[in-house]
Structure formats: structure tokens, C-alpha cells
């Protein structure tokens, strides 16, 4: 059984999707053993508690730099014996001390079709606003491995939704979460736990 540590900062609907998938037996070979939040008041913590999952709060605001914060996160992940780290709405960029310690073992969900509308400064509703300002007709979400560059690691899964006339950042966010994120993130976690993701030439492929 792989130990899955989920990192959160907010509402935790993606965490909930993973918890629900685990409960329904969809995730074979893995178990969420810890939820770590960068904010003490994140509702994701309540979701973890309700599911009986141990939690830790490491507030980003208590650390002077990204590096010092990342070192604290790394220490906790090592203490938890994490086999897989899932960034589920985790709004802090991690320093390479974490990404190098967990190569191809950190998964992130990003609410756009990478390489569009991603990288530093693109998070939450800002992503959807940027996509709508550009006038895209299709958007979606990407589940990818995390490396040293923001949103630049190997893509595992992507899914799309159509953008309708009159769409707002809020309506697009909801549509992408419900139709893509909550399905693809648990699926990628499951594939990882079953050792079905293969890396070749820096790209990720799902073993059929």
C-alpha cells in the first residue's frame, strides 16, 4: 500500500474526490495517510477530519521564504513516509528541495490545458479569467507531475469542457471541477498507485 499525502490550501473539493474514490474502492494500492494544509482555516482540513485522516497545518505565512517553507514541508513528508504527494488546490510553489526528493512522485491538478494559462501567478479563478479574456472556446484541466518549474512537469491526464457564450470565471471553474478535475485527479492517483504510469524521455504514458 502506498502512503498518499495530500497538500491543500482551500476548500478541498479535489481532496474530497480522492477520499470518495478511495472509499468506493477506486484507488487500488494506495491510501490517504495524511493531509497537510498551508492554511489553518482551510475547509479541506474539516473534510480530512470527517474522513478520519490525520492532518498537519504548516502555515505558509509563518515562513520567511519559499525555501524555508519547502524544507518544513519536506520534513513532514519524510516523517509521513510519503510514497505519493498530491497537490490538490495547494497554492504555494515548492522549492526544488521537495521536487528533487520526490521525482515523479508529486502530482498536481491545474485548472487549464497546460501549456496554456499556467505557471507562476496562474491559480484558482485567475486561470479561468485569463482563459475567458483570451476568448478560448475549449478549456479543461491537467493532471501532471511536479518538477522544478511551475506547471511544467510531465502531463499524465487532460480533459476538456466547452466554453459557452456568457461563461463567467466562476461558472467555468465549476464546470471544469465537476467534469474534469474530480474525475481525473483520483484516476491519476489510482494509476500511480498501481504503477501504471511509465516515464519515457521525460514524458508520462499510461500503461494500458
- Give 10 or 153: the residue with its C-beta nearer to ligand GAR: 10
- Give 110 or 187: the residue with its C-beta nearer to ligand GAR: 110
- Is residue 175 within 8 A of residue 123, CB to CB? The reply is no
Shortest CB 174 distance to ligand GAR, Å: 9
Largest separation between any pair of C-alpha atoms in the chain = 49
Shortest CB 200 distance to ligand GAR, Å: 26
- Give 176 or 193: the residue with its C-beta nearer to ligand GAR: 176
Shortest CB 157 distance to ligand GAR, Å: 13
In whole angstroms, give the CA distance from residue 139 to residue 76.
35
Which residues form the interface with ligand GAR (CB under 6 A)?
A: 10-14, 44, 88-89, 109-111, 123-124, 127, 177, 181
Residue number of the CB closest to ligand GAR reads 89
Shortest CB 207 distance to ligand GAR, Å: 25
In whole angstroms, give the CA distance from residue 58 to residue 154.
27
Q: Give the ranges where 24-156 is alpha helix by DSSP (H).
A: 43-50, 66-79, 96-101, 125-134
Cα 190 → chain centroid:
14
- Is-catalytic flag, 110? yes
In whole angstroms, give the CA distance from residue 197 to residue 208.
9
- Give 46 or 195: the residue with its C-beta nearer to ligand GAR: 46
Catalytic residue, chosen from 47, 110, 144, 187, is 110
CA atoms within 13 A on the CB side of 171: 8
The bridge status of strand 106-110 relative to strand 84-87 is parallel
Active-site amino acid positions: 110
Amino acid at each position: 500500500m502506498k502512503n498518499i499525502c495530500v497538500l491543500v490550501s482551500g476548500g478541498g473539493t479535489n481532496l474530497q474526490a480522492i477520499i470518495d474514490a478511495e472509499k468506493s474502492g477506486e484507488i487500488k494500492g494506495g491510501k490517504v495517510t495524511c493531509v497537510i494544509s498551508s492554511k489553518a482555516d482551510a475547509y479541506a482540513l474539516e473534510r480530512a477530519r470527517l474522513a478520519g485522516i490525520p492532518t498537519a497545518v504548516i502555515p505558509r505565512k509563518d515562513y520567511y521564504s519559499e525555501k524555508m517553507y519547502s524544507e518544513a514541508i519536506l520534513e513532514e513528508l519524510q516523517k509521513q513516509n510519503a510514497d505519493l504527494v498530491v497537490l490538490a488546490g495547494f497554492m504555494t510553489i515548492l522549492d526544488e528541495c521537495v521536487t528533487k526528493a520526490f521525482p515523479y512522485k508529486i502530482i498536481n491538478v491545474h485548472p487549464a490545458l497546460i501549456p496554456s494559462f499556467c505557471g507562476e501567478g496562474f491559480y484558482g479563478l485567475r486561470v479561468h479569467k485569463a482563459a475567458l479574456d483570451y476568448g478560448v472556446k475549449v478549456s479543461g484541466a491537467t493532471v501532471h507531475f511536479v518538477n522544478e518549474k511551475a506547471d511544467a512537469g510531465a502531463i499524465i491526464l487532460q480533459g476538456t469542457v466547452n466554453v459557452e457564450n456568457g461563461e463567467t470565471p466562476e461558472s467555468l471553474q465549476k464546470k471544469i471541477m465537476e467534469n474534469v478535475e474530480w474525475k481525473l485527479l483520483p484516476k491519476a492517483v489510482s494509476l500511480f498507485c498501481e504503477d501504471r504510469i511509465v516515464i519515457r524521455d521525460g514524458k508520462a504514458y499510461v500503461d494500458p
